[in-house]
Chains A and B, each alone.
Chain A
Amino acid sequence: MSGLRVIVGCKRVIDYAVKIRVKPDKTGVITDGVKHSMNPFDEIAVEEAVRMKEKKLASEVIAVSCGPTQCQETLRTAMAMGADKSIHVEVDAATYENLQPLHVAKILAKVAQEEKADIVFTGKQAIDDDCNQTGQMVAAILDWPQATFASKVEKVDGGLTVTREIDGGLETIKVKVPAVLTADLRLNEPRYATLPNIMKAKKKPMAKKKPADYGVDVGPRQSVLKVEDPPVRQAGSKLDSVESLVAKLKDAGLVPS
């Protein structure tokens, strides 16, 4: 196969280092004025796609993000890392609150078809909702093979060999192209966006689209009832012997007396 065309899904999320606070009205978490960045797993996907281009496996890397205007910052970071161009699918802030993986997957699938992509690459999950669904849904919609939780990707005759991190250890599979890949933590270490590349990214094209352009309805499919902090962890107690431990477990009804 000559140069693969790679779409990379990039989500703008609250920065991993921020201490999350629940809104007083319990409808969500506070995002106003809070530091956001590209989902770390998506960063890894961008890095891998750029490396594929450097190895001449990929011919073009296109970053895509669905959300409000601020997503453009995320896309410019992707371009500063080496993506050739980007697509911002604009979703207003109110609608974005209820945007779900299925909506995004439908959009990414359409983008992939329009851009004649060979690979759709995303992070394995977003660190805000931990859904771990978008990549898999894209594959199902397009009827493409999927290689998720990738910790290694290599080109071989007829497709790609992907090592996956699974509960039991490592699994290596071969997939034909076109395919969906999702990136896991140990796939690579993303590069710094160098200052010259940050400057170059300003000149790279960013297309502005809407979900309607792809015929996707992003109306809410669910509503959030309540968001609250997990209960405060109770202090434990130190016991001096196995006997007292067993007694306590029996008292608590956790072990039959």
Chain B
Amino acid sequence: QHVRSLSSLVDLPETHEMLRKTCRDFADNELIPIAAKLDKEHLYPKEQVKKMGELGLMAMDVPESEGGTGLDYLAYAIGMEEISRGCASCGVIMSVNNSLYLGPLMKNGNAAQKEKFVKPFLDGSQVGCFALSEPGNGSDAGAASTVAQLGSGKYTLNGTKAWITNGYEAAATVVSGDKPDLSFLHCTLVYWMILVPVFQQTLDAGRIGIAAQGLGIAQAALDCAVDYALKRNSFGMPIAKMQSVQMKIADMETRLESARLLTWKAAMFKDAGKNFTKEAAMAKLAASETATYNAHNAIQILGGMGYVTDMPAERHYRDARITEIYEGTSDIQRIVIATNVFKEYGA
């Protein structure tokens, strides 16, 4: 087990330190032991998600008055990182429920909608999902072809959604198309559903969650590499004494800490009510590419052992790789960042 001392320029508030400990202990005791099995057997961690709900992790920034945990996005980012360090799958399930499902509902739902679509989704017994992508469009969200038609007092959806995290297990979904006049077709997913136009904020908030997931994966990969390097002997010494290994570890740690600071900054901007689109994009970009970088180098440091399933390095790589793709590809994040930079320069 590794204990990082907080040598970053910010000392976390006590509440955040306490929740970090709870999440870390939970990840160590309940997630790390089963993560490999979940991955190998393609299992949905229903029991673990329920426990995470009981800890308050599935509705982190829903106000206490409405049954949630009432914490801020910095707390969410910290919780997401610790959970993802244990099991990246549990991390993304937690992120989708918090940011992409509960996020827009809390912002736009009326009392009746919250009663039906928020209340049962707070304690981990049920999860929600967010259906944006379709077989014909991921990045090109504007080309979404799912339509909704209003007739006899209700909407009927028609279309096909694809790549929906929590899609199988979700008891409800937030479906979106791009047109605010809500012309949707009957959907092949059969759930209770409500419809909201896509807001930039929902995606931005989700990006903080996924950035934090990337941090957790990157940390797990770094921990794996350091642990191995200190124990594996070659050329008569632990390989940690070799500069080629040290250079990799240094770069992994530096990129991880940079991505973490970007993620925390985006979360703090959101908590302060500031616009955080550019910050969230930078965080997600940095964290996801760091997750892949760290996992790639962890495999290299472990050598042959990094490639086989006996060690978790190859799973960290597969977990990392998707973070550069979902919730906005790295390419899209770069466009968002550049667009915002030019805006700042008055263009």
CA distance A195 to B22 in the complex (A): 8
Chain A positions 15 through 40: 1 when the CB is less than 8 Å from some CB of chain B, otherwise 0: 10110000000000000011101000
Q: Which chain B positions have C-beta within 8 A of A73? A: 14, 17-18
Is B240 an interface residue when CB atoms closer than 8 A count as contact? Answer: no
Contact of B19 among A15, A33, A198 (CB under 8 A): A198
Is A125 an interface residue when CB atoms closer than 8 A count as contact? Answer: no
Nearest CB in chain A to that of B54: its residue: A194
Count of residues in A whose CB is under 8 Å from the partner chain: 19
Count of residues in B whose CB is under 8 Å from the partner chain: 25
Nearest CB in chain B to that of A202: its residue: B15
On whether the beta carbons of B1 and A194 are closer than 8 Å, the reply is no
CA distance A99 to B274 in the complex (A): 48
Interface of B is mostly: helix
Which of B34-90 touch A at CB < 8 Å?
Answer: 54-57, 60, 64, 69-71, 75, 79
Is B169 an interface residue when CB atoms closer than 8 A count as contact? Answer: no
Contacts A37-B21, A193-B22 given; does A199 touch B15 at CB 8 Å: yes
On whether the beta carbons of A195 and B3 are closer than 8 Å, the reply is no
Is B115 an interface residue when CB atoms closer than 8 A count as contact? Answer: no
Is B7 an interface residue when CB atoms closer than 8 A count as contact? Answer: yes
Is B5 an interface residue when CB atoms closer than 8 A count as contact? Answer: yes
CA distance A1 to B56 in the complex (A): 36
Chain B positions 6 through 21: 1 when the CB is less than 8 Å from some CB of chain A, otherwise 0: 0100000011011101
Is B25 an interface residue when CB atoms closer than 8 A count as contact? Answer: yes
Is A65 an interface residue when CB atoms closer than 8 A count as contact? Answer: no
Is B26 an interface residue when CB atoms closer than 8 A count as contact? Answer: yes
On whether the beta carbons of A35 and B71 are closer than 8 Å, the reply is no
B295 CB → nearest A CB, Å? 24
Q: Which chain B positions have C-beta within 8 A of A34? A: 5
A36 CB → nearest B CB, Å? 10
A235 CB → nearest B CB, Å? 15
Nearest CB in chain A to that of B14: its residue: A73
On whether the beta carbons of B5 and A198 are closer than 8 Å, the reply is no
CA distance A80 to B14 in the complex (A): 12
Q: Which chain B positions have C-beta within 8 A of A17? A: 1-3
Residue of A35, A194, A195, A196 with highest tally of chain B CB at under 10 A = A195
Contacts A34-B5, A76-B14, A198-B15 given; does A192 touch B55 at CB 8 Å: yes
Number of A-B contacts (CB under 8 A): 54
Q: Which chain B positions have C-beta within 8 A of A18? A: 3
Is A86 an interface residue when CB atoms closer than 8 A count as contact? Answer: no
CA distance A35 to B1 in the complex (A): 13
Nearest CB in chain B to that of A37: its residue: B21
B148 CB → nearest A CB, Å? 36
Q: Which chain B positions have C-beta within 8 A of A194? A: 22, 54-56
Q: Which chain B positions have C-beta within 8 A of A122? A: none
B71 CB → nearest A CB, Å? 6
Contact of B26 among A37, A77, A192, A196 (CB under 8 A): A192
B271 CB → nearest A CB, Å? 15
Nearest CB in chain A to that of B51: its residue: A192
Chain A positions 243 through 254: 1 when the CB is less than 8 Å from some CB of chain B, otherwise 0: 000000000000
B24 CB → nearest A CB, Å? 10
Nearest CB in chain B to that of A189: its residue: B29
On whether the beta carbons of B3 and A35 are closer than 8 Å, the reply is yes
Contacts A34-B5, A202-B15 given; does A195 touch B60 at CB 8 Å: yes
Q: Which chain A positions have C-beta within 8 A of B64? A: 196, 199
CA distance A192 to B79 in the complex (A): 14
Q: Which chain A positions have C-beta within 8 A of B71? A: 195, 199
Contact of A196 among B1, B17, B69, B79 (CB under 8 A): B69
Which of B181-223 touch A at CB < 8 Å?
Answer: none
On whether the beta carbons of B55 and A195 are closer than 8 Å, the reply is yes
CA distance A213 to B34 in the complex (A): 51
B208 CB → nearest A CB, Å? 17
Q: Which chain A positions have C-beta within 8 A of B54? A: 194
Chain A positions 179 through 199: 1 when the CB is less than 8 Å from some CB of chain B, otherwise 0: 000000000000011111011
Question: Given A193-B21, A194-B54, A195-B19, 9 other A-B contacts at CB below 8 A?
Answer: A18-B3, A34-B5, A73-B17, A77-B21, A193-B22, A194-B56, A195-B56, A195-B60, A198-B22
16 contacts between A and B (CB under 8 A): A15-B3, A33-B5, A35-B3, A35-B5, A77-B21, A80-B18, A192-B25, A192-B55, A194-B54, A194-B55, A195-B19, A195-B56, A195-B69, A196-B70, A198-B15, A199-B71
Please give the residue numbers on chain A whose beta carbons come within 8 Å of chain B beta carbons, in ascending order. 15, 17-18, 33-35, 37, 73, 76-77, 80, 192-196, 198-199, 202
